[in-house]
C-alpha cells in the first residue's frame, strides 16, 4: 500500500542514501572491523584494523587470539593516544559483541559519533570488507602463518609496501586546478590516473605490480 502511494519505508522518507552519505562525509569517517587468520596449528587469530574512507589508509590495531572487550577497548585507546582521530567525525562498525560499550565510549569522548551497521549487511561497511578481501587474495592466501608474531610481521610488511607505492603514486598524481575541483572529471581522466598509479606501483616493486591498493 505504501509503495502504491509512492511512500518509502519508515522512518526516513527523504534524504541522502547510505552511499551518498559515505561519499559526502568520507573525509571524516573511520571504519573498523575484524578478520580472522588460521595458523598452521589451526589456531584462530583475530586482526583488528581501522580504515580511513577518504585516503584508504589502514591502521592495523593489533593481533590476538582472545579479542575480549578489554583488549578491543585498549586498541581504541591506543588509536586515540596516537592522535590519529583529529579529523574523524564518525566511526562505522558492525554489531559484533566484541565492540562493547567501553569501546564506543573511547570514541564518543573524542567527539566521534559511532554508527552501527544493520544486521547481516556487509555492504554497509564495504570499505573494510574490500580491504579484508584484498589482504586475503593478495597475501594471506599464499602464506602459511605460524603464529601471532609471524602474522604481525607479514601485515606490517604488506602495509609498508602499500605505503611505499602510494608515495610514488601521489608524486605522479595529476594537479588540481583552482576553482575546478578534483582533476578526475571524466572516465578518460580516471583511466589516466589508474594507469599512472599502476606505473608507479610497478616501479616501486621492481616491475611486479603491487595490487594491494585495490580496496
**Across 60-83, average pLDDT:** 92
Q: Quick check: is 192 in a domain?
A: yes
Find cell 569522548 and name the residue.
109
Q: Quick check: is 13 in a domain?
A: no
Q: What are phi and psi of 189, to 5 degrees?
A: -65, -35
Model pLDDT for residues 95-116, shown as the tens digit of each residue = 999 998 999 999 999 999 999 9
Q: Quick check: is 178 in a domain?
A: yes
Q: What's residue 196's pLDDT? A: 43
Band the pLDDT of 147: cuts 50, 70, 90.
Answer: very high
**Across 78-107, average pLDDT:** 90
Q: Quick check: is 163 in a domain?
A: yes
Give me the CATH number covering residue 120: 3.30.420.10
DSSP assignment of 8-67, as one string?
-SSS-SSS--HHHHHHHHGGGEEEEEEEEEE-TT--EEEEEEEEETTT--EEEEEEES--
Q: Quick check: is 7 in a domain?
A: no
The count of domains in the chain is 1
Quote the percentage of the chain above a pLDDT of 90: 40
**Across 126-149, average pLDDT:** 90
Cα separation of 28 and 107, whole Å? Answer: 13
Band the pLDDT of 17: cuts 50, 70, 90.
Answer: confident
- How many CB atoms neighbour CB 67 within 10 A? 21
Q: Quick check: is 12 in a domain?
A: no
Model pLDDT for residues 171-187, shown as the tens digit of each residue = 555 554 444 333 333 43
Q: What are phi and psi of 188, to 5 degrees?
A: -65, -45
List the domain range (segments joined by +) for residue 89.
Answer: 18-214
**Longest Cα separation, the chain:** 62
Q: Quick check: is 195 in a domain?
A: yes
Q: Quick check: is 207 in a domain?
A: yes
Amino acid at each position: 500500500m505504501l509503495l502504491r502511494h509512492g511512500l518509502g519505508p519508515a522512518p526516513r522518507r527523504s534524504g541522502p542514501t547510505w552511499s551518498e552519505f559515505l561519499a559526502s562525509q568520507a573525509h571524516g569517517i573511520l571504519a573498523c572491523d575484524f578478520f580472522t587468520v588460521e595458523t598452521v596449528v589451526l589456531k584462530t587469530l583475530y586482526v583488528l584494523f581501522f580504515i580511513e574512507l577518504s585516503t584508504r589508509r589502514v591502521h592495523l590495531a593489533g593481533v590476538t587470539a582472545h579479542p575480549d572487550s578489554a583488549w578491543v577497548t585498549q586498541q581504541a585507546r591506543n588509536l586515540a593516544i596516537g592522535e590519529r582521530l583529529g579529523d574523524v567525525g564518525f566511526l562505522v562498525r558492525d554489531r559484533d559483541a566484541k565492540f562493547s560499550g567501553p569501546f564506543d565510549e573511547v570514541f564518543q569522548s573524542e567527539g566521534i559519533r559511532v554508527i552501527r551497521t544493520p544486521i547481516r549487511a556487509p555492504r554497509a561497511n564495504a570499505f573494510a570488507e574490500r580491504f579484508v578481501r584484498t589482504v586475503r587474495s593478495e597475501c594471506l592466501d599464499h602464506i602459511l602463518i605460524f603464529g601471532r608474531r609471524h602474522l604481525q610481521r607479514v601485515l606490517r610488511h604488506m602495509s609498508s609496501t602499500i605505503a611505499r607505492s602510494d608515495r610514488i603514486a601521489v608524486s605522479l598524481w595529476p594537479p588540481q586546478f583552482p576553482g575546478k575541483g578534483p582533476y578526475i572529471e571524466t572516465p578518460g581522466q580516471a583511466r589516466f590516473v589508474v594507469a599512472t598509479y599502476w606505473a608507479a606501483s610497478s616501479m616501486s616493486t621492481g616491475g611486479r605490480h603491487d595490487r594491494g591498493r585495490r580496496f
